[in-house]
Chains A and B, each alone.
Chain A
Amino acid sequence: MSAKNEYAKPGEYKPIDLLAVAAAREVRDGDVVFAGTGLPMLAIMLAQLSHAPNAVCIYEAGSIDGRPIDLPTSVGDARCAYQAAMAAGLTEAFYGQLHNGYVDLGFLGGAEIDKYGNVNTTVVGNYASPKKRFTGSGGNPDINSLARRSVYIMVQEKRRFKEHVDYITSPGWRIKKWPSGEWAHRKDVYHKYFRGGIEAVITNMGVFRFDEQGIMYLDTVHPGFSAEDVKNNVDFDLNISRVSGETKPPTYLDIELLYTKVDPEGIFLP
C-alpha cells in the first residue's frame, strides 16, 4: 500500500516526468501561482493533487482559481475557466492580481538564460536586425517581475545557458536600468516594488538556484547525471561547489497522478 510513496527507479520514469515533478515540488501549500502554458500547467496541477491542495492558479488570459477537469492546452483555453472563482480578463490577471501583490509564485519557461537569471524569449542576434525571432515576451517578464518567487522550466543545452543573453526579455537578479542601460541589482530598479525574483531553474539535468549575489549555482543533479555533466552543458563558468545532492525522483504516486489525472490524453506527456 505504501509502495506508491516510494521513489521510482531509473528507467521507470521519463525525463519529462521528473521535470514536472521537480517543478511541482517548488509549489508551497497555499501559494497563489501564476502559470504559463505547458509544463508549468502540469506542475501546478500535480502540486494541487499532492502536497499543495490549497494552492490556487491564475492564468493570464483571465481565469482566476480555475478547477479544470480537462488539461488546458493554452492559458486562453476554455478549460482553464471551468469552475473558476472568476472568469475575468488580462486586466484582472495582470493588475488586479499580479501588480496588486497576490501572486506568490510565477511558473515560466524560456529559450535562453544567463547566470543572473535573465531570460530571452524574443530574438537571436541584435534586436534591430535579428537572425531569428522567437515568440516574444508574452507575460513572462510581467509575471517574473512582480511575483514574490519565480521558477523557470527549461531545456539544458550549452547554447541556452549563456554568459549574456542576446536580449533581456525577462528580468533576473542583475538587470539594466533604463534609459542609461547601466547594470544594477534588481532591488535598485524595482525599489519599493521589489518583492523577490527568480528562485530556481529546473531542467532535464538538474535544479539551479541563485546565491546572495544573484548568481546561478547548481543545487541538485538529476539521477544519472554528474555535476560535471551539467557544467559541460552550460556556457558560463557554473558554480558546482554548492551541490546539495541528487534530485529526488518521482514517486510512483506522482507518475500515476501525472498520467491518469493531470494529462491522461497525452498532450504534454506523450
Chain B
Amino acid sequence: MGKPERITLQEAASLIKDGDLLTFSGFTIWRRPMALVYELVRQGKKNLHLFEVNGGTHTEVLAGAGCIKIWESCWVGHELYGKLGELVAARQVKGTIITEDYSHAQCVARLLAGAYGIPFFPTALSMGTDILNPEFDMLGKAGLRDGSNPKIPLKKYDMIEDPFYNMGELLLMPAVNPNWALIYASQVGDEGTVRVNAQTYTDIEAIKAADKVIVLAEEIVPDSYLRQEPKLNIATGYAIDYVVELPWAAHPTGSQGYYDVDADFIRAFYSASKSQEGFDKWADEWIFGVKNHEEYLAKLGITRLEKLRANSALGYSRRVKRGTR
C-alpha cells in the first residue's frame, strides 16, 4: 500500500517476467500502453499469457514479435484501419499461440469477478454459441487446466441452475487475476490517483483485478487537482504500484482529450502485418530502430503529432483527414 513508485519505461518492462499473465487498459485502438508494449518487444519477452477483454494493435505487435504463448480474449483487429488481427490469426492457424475465445461480455464477467475478489460471475450472455463447445476448450486440450498454473482456471466455464428465482440455466465465468495490469491513463496524481477522460472501458476492473499495476501517465499532476472533482477519478494511488510519466505513450492509439488515433500509422502497420517479413521490417524500423520513446516521437515528428492533437473543447482532433471527402 501507499504511493506508487516512479520508475522509467525500461525499468517497468524489466519487471515483467517471461510467462506472466498480462492485461491492458483501453479498447481496441484507444488508450493502449503502446510505449510499454514496444519496450517489452525490445527486451525480448517470451511466452506471455494475455487475458484481454478485447485486443488491438498492441496485441498484434506482441504476436508479431513472438512474445505471446496464450491469448484469451474475444476480438483482435484495428477497427476501420485494418479489419483482421493477421498476426494472431496466423499463429492460431499454425498452432503457435493457444487461443481461447470468450464473448466480449463473458470476458468482462471474468475481469469483474477478479476485480471484486469473487471466484466467478454469472451471466446469461452468449449462451448457445460454439464459444461453449467443450471441444473448443483449448487450454483444457493443451492439458493446462490441471491446477499447476494458478492463473488458469480448472474449467473454461461452468453452468448452474438459478437456485433463487428459477431463471433457468446460467453460465458461470471464472475470475481472472492477471499478474500485471499495464495501463495507460491521461492523468495520474503525485499520490497516484488515476483519471481517464470519457469512456472508462474496463480500465477500472483491470486495475483492481491485477496483482500489480503499472501506469503510463500522459502527465503527472498534483493529487490536490484531481481531488477537486473526485467523481472523475477511476482508481486510488494505493491500487497502483508503479508510474511512468510519458507523453504520447498511447500512440498510435488514441487518448480522449489528448490525441486522436493515428490512422495512417495503423494502416501502414496493418499492411506490414500481412506477412512475418513485413512485420519484421516494420519492427526494425519502429521498435528496434529507435532506442527509446523519445527517439520514436522524434521520428514521428512534430507536424504529424500536432495534427493528432485533440481539440480542447471536443476531446478529439478535427485536423486529421478521416474519409474520402
Contact = CB atoms under 8 A, between A and B. Distances in A.
Interface of A: 37-38, 60-63, 70, 73-82, 87-91, 94-95, 98-99, 122, 127-142, 145-146, 167-171, 175-179, 181, 184, 186, 189-193, 263-268, 270
List the 3 closest pairs (A to B, CB-CB), nearest first: A191-B168, A175-B128, A266-B323
Most buried by B among A37, A38, A178: A178
Contact of B76 (A82, A136, A186, A191): A136
B3 to A, nearest CB: 25
B169 A95 contact: no
A264 B89 CA distance: 34
Contacts of A176: 128-130, 132-133
A181 B83 CA distance: 31
Interface string B128-164: 1111111110100100000000000000000100000
Nearest to A267: B323
A168 B129 contact: yes
Contacts of A189: 127-128, 169
Contacts of A80: 199
A81 B130 contact: no
Contacts of A171: 126-129
Interface string B266-302: 0000000000000000000000000000000000000
A265 B103 contact: no
A88 B80 CA distance: 23
Given A37-B79, A78-B315, A138-B104, A88 B199 contact: yes
Interface in B160-184: 166-169
A129 B95 contact: yes
B129 A270 contact: no
A135 B77 contact: yes
A141 B129 contact: yes
Contact of B159 (A82, A122, A179): A179
Contacts of A62: 199-201
A163 to B, nearest CB: 16
Contact of B123 (A99, A129, A168): A99
A252 B142 CA distance: 58
Interface centre among A60, A135, A191 (most CB of B within 10 A): A135
Contacts of A167: 130
A63 B85 CA distance: 25
Given A81-B256, A142-B103, A168-B130, A190 B205 contact: no
Interface in B94-132: 95, 99, 101-106, 108, 112, 123-132
Interface of B: 26-30, 53-55, 73-77, 79-80, 83-85, 88-89, 92-93, 95, 99, 101-106, 108, 112, 123-136, 138, 141, 159, 166-169, 197-205, 254, 256-257, 260-261, 263, 310, 314-316, 318, 321-325
Given A142-B104, A142-B105, A131 B93 contact: yes
A138 B167 CA distance: 26
Contacts, number: 239
Contact of B104 (A38, A87, A90, A177): A90
B103 A141 contact: yes
Nearest to A125: B93
Given A74-B28, A266-B325, A177 B128 contact: yes
B295 to A, nearest CB: 28
Contacts of B159: 178-179
B205 to A, nearest CB: 7
B74 A136 contact: yes
Nearest to B79: A74
A94 B80 CA distance: 23
A80 to B, nearest CB: 7
Contact of A169 (B53, B85, B131, B166): B131
Contact of A91 (B80, B108, B324, B325): B108
27 contacts: A74-B29, A76-B199, A78-B198, A78-B260, A78-B314, A81-B198, A88-B199, A90-B105, A90-B201, A90-B202, A94-B125, A95-B123, A99-B123, A128-B138, A132-B93, A133-B92, A135-B77, A136-B75, A136-B76, A137-B104, A141-B126, A145-B127, A171-B129, A190-B168, A191-B169, A192-B168, A266-B325
B204 A89 contact: yes
A75 B27 CA distance: 9
A136 B204 contact: no
Contacts of B80: 37-38, 73-74, 267
Contacts of A178: 127-128, 132-134, 159
A145 B92 contact: no
A82 B199 contact: no
Contacts of A78: 30, 197-198, 254, 256-257, 260, 310, 314-316
A135 B104 CA distance: 12
Contact of B124 (A63, A122, A193): A193
B84 A133 contact: yes
Contact of A87 (B29, B30, B199, B203): B199
A128 B141 contact: yes
A94 B108 contact: yes
B75 A138 contact: yes
B232 to A, nearest CB: 10
